[in-house]
Amino acid sequence: MNDETVLLGHGSGGTMMKRIIDEVFAATYGSEELAQGNDAAVLPAPAPGERLAFSTDTFVVTPHFFPGGNIGRLAVCGTVNDVATSGAHVKYLSVGMVLEEGFPMDDLRRICATIAETAREAGVHIVTGDTKVVNRGHGDGIYINTAGVGLIPEGRDLSGAYCKPGDAILVSGTLGDHGIAIMSQRENLSFTSPIESDAAPLNRLIADVLAAAPDTRCFRDPTRGGLASTLNELAEQSGVDMAIREDDVPVKDAVRGACEMLGYDVFQVANEGKMVCVVPAEQADAALAAMRSNTYGSDAAIIGQVEEAKPERGPKVFLETGFGSRRILDMLVGEQLPRIC
């Protein structure tokens, strides 16, 4: 990697972030589990047949409070969803706080109350934590790290490496809500229709899909880098092409309008309460019905399919436009929406 310093783009979820992960982190302390490239590591468990799912995430969003939630809700939902993508029953969370001297105690209490409320909603227990305080001007108020542990039932095996040509691609709801909600608060933008963060714990939605579509290949939450980066990651893991239909991807009119006004690609805008799912074609309708029966999946849609990649050019993601043409849908390059989680 030729970069001489760390840049904001290294945390974007796009190509720069992939580069720092591959060429710095994995190159120095990589392990077999880390190399799997999934949202949660799958590890041996003491009980025969069971396995552990383990994930960690750090949240640095500004502003700390925004329509639809706050940094505390993000911290719980983000890690619960990462662990749940493995098919695990999410059990326990840790919460680590880095607080800046002078941070309002009332704000801290509000954030902690939200953490407790969201953990109850997800059915997980917060069992350990840590607190550090840094000098005034050195911490942007509050950073939160959460780690989660879950148990994967015997016989369940999900991975982004399992996608096969012919599989269906689903998304659990409208794209771009979180990223645009954060940007509207940061830049004091107002819209005719209010835009709220979609942050939500999706472990029960995932369980519903697995009950309806037991041969599901994988789940992935399209956070930083949005749907475009997520599909490119899955395509590379499985060595396949992915094609989605622009007209079938659910996007709220207010979010679409905001993206057009701000010059953003909605497919690269972050989400915190949506899930991408790849299932065998014959189980797609059952998976869709399961998503739509969940509170957080009412706008779910089948948006495309997995295709065979051409060996001479490698895996690609394609967007079938409303005009009948196809264009390549690339990973996010650089930083589009700084500090959205």
Q: Please write the tens of the pLDDT for every residue from 70-129.
A: 999 999 999 999 999 999 999 999 999 999 999 999 999 999 999 999 999 999 999 999
Please check the confidence at residue 338 and state whether its pLDDT lies above 80.
no
CA distance 276 to 308: 19
Answer whether 0.85 is exceeded by the pTM.
Answer: yes
CATH of the domain at 314: 3.90.650.10
Residue 336 falls within a domain, yes or no?
no
- Asked if residue 318 and residue 188 are part of one domain, the reply reads yes
Domain shared by 221 and 145, yes or no: no
Domain co-membership, 179 together with 131: no
- Domain of 181 in residue numbering reads as 160-328
**Residue 39: φ, ψ to 5°:** -70, -20
Shared domain for 128 and 184, answered yes or no, is no
Strand arrangement of the beta sheet that strand 168-171 belongs to = 218-220, 276-279, 168-171, 301-308, 240-245, 317-320, 326-328
Q: Report the alpha-carbon distance of residue 218 to residue 79 in Å, rounded.
A: 17
Q: Is residue 142 part of a domain?
A: yes
- The domain boundary residue, chosen from 99, 125, 151: 151
CB 59 within 8 A of CB 82: no
- Tell me, what's the pLDDT at 45? 78
Instruction: Based on the fold, state whether residues 46 and 166 are members of the same structural domain.
Output: no
193 and 315 assigned to the same domain: yes
What phi and psi, each to the nearest 5 degrees, are found at residue 133?
-120, 130
CATH no. for residue 111? 3.30.1330.10
256 plus 206 within the same structural domain: yes
- b/e per residue 169-193 (b: at least 16 CB within 10 A): bbbbbbbbbbbbbbbbbbeeeeeee
- The answer to whether residue 9 is domain-embedded is no
CA distance 286 to 168: 12
Residue 323 backbone zone (phi > 0: left; psi -120 to 50: alpha; other: beta):
alpha
Of all residues in the chain, what percent carry a pLDDT higher than 90?
73
Tell me which of 224 and 320 has the higher pLDDT. Answer: 320
Residues 180 and 259 in one domain: yes
Q: Tell me: do 60 and 132 sit in the same domain.
A: yes
pLDDT of res. 1: 65
Domains: count for the chain: 2
Within-domain flag for 294? yes
Task: Tell me: do 318 and 207 sit in the same domain.
Answer: yes
Centre a 10 Å sphere on the Cβ of residue 127 and count the other Cβ atoms it contains.
Answer: 11
pLDDT at 14 over 80: no
The arithmetic mean of pLDDT across residues 222-237, rounded, is: 94
Decide if 308 is inside a domain. Answer: yes
Mean pLDDT confidence for 59-74: 94
Q: Are residues 174 and 263 in the same domain?
A: yes
In a domain, 15, yes or no: no
* 19 in any annotated domain: no
Residues 144, 84 share a domain: yes
In a domain, 10, yes or no: no
Q: In the prediction, which pLDDT does 12 show?
A: 65
User: 116, 132, 151 — which closes off a domain?
Assistant: 151
Domain boundary among 126, 151, 176: 151
